[in-house]
Chains A and B, each alone.
Chain A
Amino acid sequence: MSTDILTLKGIRKSFFGTEVLHGIDVSIRKGTVHGLVGENGAGKSTLMNVLGGVFRPDEGEMLVDGKPYAPQSPKDAQKAHIAFVHQELNLFSNLTVAENLFIEDLPLGAFQQVKYKQMEQETVRYLKDFQIDVNPKTKVENLSMGVRQSIEIAKALIINADVVIFDEPTTSLTKVEKDQLFRIIADLKARNVTIIYISHILEDVFELCDDISVLRDGSLITTMPAGETNRDALISLMVGRKLENVYPTVEKTIGEEILCCKHIASGSLVKDAGLTLHRGEILGVFGLMGSGRTELMRALFGLDKISGGEIIYKGKNFTHHTPKQAIEAGIAFVTEDRRDEGLLMPKPVEENLLLVHLPALAGKTGVVDQRKGEEMADASIKALHTKVQNKKTQLVCNLSGGNQQKVVLGKWIMHEPEVLILDEPTRGVDVGAKYEIYTIIQERAKEQSSVLVVSSEMEELMGICDRIVVMSAGRMAGEIECSEFEQNSIMEMALAGGGKA
């Protein structure tokens, strides 16, 4: 009875020379709910995008109902009755609900006109199945995020799907909307539709799924019936790496408190967050995607407005500041997105390096001291072992990820910041360069700078931090000292607030 509807064999996929899927073999039984779990960056979304026709695999083959399946586009996936509910919304906010549902295949009359009446009636009838009660003439921009999500799901299912992929469907849903979604999933299952469910919220995975597959670092670790495992075992499988000796250690002392923030609220993601940072300390901030970790850093640096709470910096209130004031006060921020936010990609290395320091180099006259700038750029390149042939002509976009990151770091360190905020400092950086970046971080701390490191790689934080705070759903979920670092308990904390109401 339980034949496999989907079989993936040896799926490999690389992006820009880095392999992110190392030959995945997995089979999915017809009419089951199949959970897919793993840390951020484990390759879940990539794998599903391959299945959904968004990416083409470099190697491997797929079978749907025993027949070969090689989608060239999302359209092909739809033709094979595979529906994909994306994490982000793909609705047109300026159009009505009915138009959104039918935009690909609008019902037409004799004069090529859209038959609005018929379309709207069909919309009402169709949405009734999903217990969505909206006026089909309502523009999507006037609906709540939850209703939009439900409509997105309804839209994906309009193709009479045999397989439905849900990629983190509950992130923007309220409790009620989530229950509704689970009812829809149960209903689909009753109709022998197969469901692949990706989520960070393990409670949901256990509640919904028949089978669970665990991905880690682009490899499939195991597939097992949900009944044969439990939460703790699953977490171990998800993180289960041994800590290797890839982290430098430096003798240093931790001094007095330099930065302290309490009850910070900012935007929609940071609700009540606080932390304390000491001189010479490396403090890790861990949290899953959407936990508000990056947003907290942006608020600390003055990029996002703070709507509640206070920041005490060097004993003084420093709550409502601009990024410029933060820089002048000795705070530096290396963003997670170095391509768009950290570097001027089509500009040479030197120009990038001197960017922050420019006002200081110019002094009172406003004219930049070229020679001093060159000296400082040279010093930075040497200190950070940045591999640059010619700092004046080599463009940053032609450097490797690791060297790019060193340019970003060099740019800020030149300013000798007292607090260095690093968001995902080693993303897209190879192992060797990682070690060097860790060394740079440690050396800053040795010189009594304080470092805040945000990372989704838990292992990395455990390797370099003195202390780790964990964020979940915009709040602090816990704090662990270096001596008590343990992966499972950190993951527990991060997942704790995951099932937000």
Chain B
Amino acid sequence: MNEKAGKGLQLSWNHLYEYGVFVIFLLMIIVFAFSNPHFFTVKNAILIVEQSSPLMLGVCGMAFVLMLGGIDISAGANMYLSAVTSALVMQKFAESNGPGGSAVYLIGIFTALLVGAAIGLVNGCFIVKFKMVPFIMTLAMTSVLTGIGLILTKAELLPVRASGFQPSSIRVGPVSMVVVIVLLFTVVFHYLLKYTVYGRQLMAQGNNEEAARKLGIRTKRNAIIAYVICGAMAGFGGVLSAGQVGALSSNFAKGNEFDIIPAAVLGGISLFGGKGSILPGAVIGIVLVNTITNGLTMMAANPYVYTIVRGVIIFIAVMLDSMNYKGELR
């Protein structure tokens, strides 16, 4: 009797969930465009894409961890410490070999990837081997990483550009090198998640770990790899972001995980695991988050309003995700 009505309602919720992000996106653009003539311009669009790019790497990595039903709160602190380590290594290198040259780029990015991956490995091993709750494990990690970063920098401003690391100054057409690299990686990770055995099995175990184990899928190995990918991408994003900013303050990348995770979730990747993909959802998610920040800046809003808006974004992202979760029969 009531079944039909119930179904109709469910359908509309599903629609809201599926297209809600796009609707919000459009509304935001309209509001911002009307409030500031400089908002709806090609120049500003490119700026938003540039700003989104380093975080997009973080979203790519986070997608793997979220697919498991896990989470990595330490992404922001990872970005910070990876960037700091990388900047220090580059500084040393520039001191002995002089600034500039492609070698600086290679060394800088390699260091950040390595540090990030190592952090991810520690996260993954503790979470998988000791069955620690991912949230708490990575929260503790956040504190440790921030502390190490502060000791290394003595909480002073650390210059990055001085060693010749300026990835955003290399232009490829209208955008910088950073955007191109990030796009490339985004496609690769999308492919990895969607079209390889690893990605498919990761999604399977995120849905029903017990069944996956019964089939002989190496669930522990897969999970650790997911955290390593997440860590490495956060590190990579960190160093690219540092190149954009030019110098590292002690507040660098602070709280970035709360842009990365909601962006992924807004893009359709479920916190409950096993759902979503990087393209196009997650990309739209991160651009959306940055568009809002950008728009608010242009409206000359009170900077404390960002904090509120960020909270509201997290709230909306998680609410949509939870409403759509049907508590599958296991």
CB distance from B69 to the nearest CB of A (A): 11
CB distance from A98 to the nearest CB of B (A): 11
Residues of B with C-beta under 8 A to A116: 195
Using CB atoms, name the residue of chain A closest to B211: A90
Contact between A104 and B217, CB atoms less than 8 A apart: yes
In the complex, 19 of the A-B residue pairs with CB atoms within 8 angstroms, ordered by the A residue number, are A74-B215, A74-B216, A75-B216, A90-B211, A92-B204, A93-B328, A94-B206, A94-B328, A95-B200, A95-B203, A95-B207, A103-B201, A104-B215, A108-B197, A113-B195, A114-B195, A114-B196, A114-B197, A141-B326
CB distance from B259 to the nearest CB of A (A): 26
CB distance from A152 to the nearest CB of B (A): 10
Contact between B216 and A113, CB atoms less than 8 A apart: no
A112 within 8 A of B: yes
Using CB atoms, name the residue of chain A closest to B272: A94
Residues of B with C-beta under 8 A to A93: 207-208, 328-329
B274 within 8 A of A: yes
Give the number of chain A interface residues (Cβ < 8 Å).
23
8 closest A-B pairs (Cβ-Cβ)?
A90-B211, A94-B274, A113-B195, A92-B207, A94-B207, A92-B204, A93-B328, A75-B216
CB distance from A377 to the nearest CB of B (A): 33
A91 within 8 A of B: yes
CB distance from B221 to the nearest CB of A (A): 15
A379 within 8 A of B: no
Residues of A with C-beta under 8 A to B328: 93-94, 141
Knowing A93-B328, A94-B275, A113-B195 are in contact, say whether A106-B216 is a contact too (CB < 8 A).
no
Contact between A106 and B200, CB atoms less than 8 A apart: yes
Interface of chain A, helix or strand or loop or mixed?
loop
A360 within 8 A of B: no
Residues of A with C-beta under 8 A to B204: 92, 94-95, 99, 103
Which residues in A have some Cβ–Cβ distance to B below 8 Å?
54, 73-75, 88-95, 99, 103-104, 106, 108, 112-114, 116, 141, 145
Contact between A94 and B211, CB atoms less than 8 A apart: no
- Measured between alpha carbons, how far is A93 from B205 in the docked complex, in Å? 11
B191 within 8 A of A: yes
Contact between A112 and B206, CB atoms less than 8 A apart: no
CB distance from A171 to the nearest CB of B (A): 13
Contact between A106 and B197, CB atoms less than 8 A apart: yes
Using CB atoms, name the residue of chain A closest to B273: A94
- Measured between alpha carbons, how far is A74 from B216 in the docked complex, in Å? 8
- Measured between alpha carbons, how far is A91 from B204 in the docked complex, in Å? 9
- Measured between alpha carbons, how far is A473 from B82 in the docked complex, in Å? 61
Using CB atoms, name the residue of chain A closest to B201: A103
CB distance from B265 to the nearest CB of A (A): 16
CB distance from B325 to the nearest CB of A (A): 11
Residues of A with C-beta under 8 A to B208: 90-93
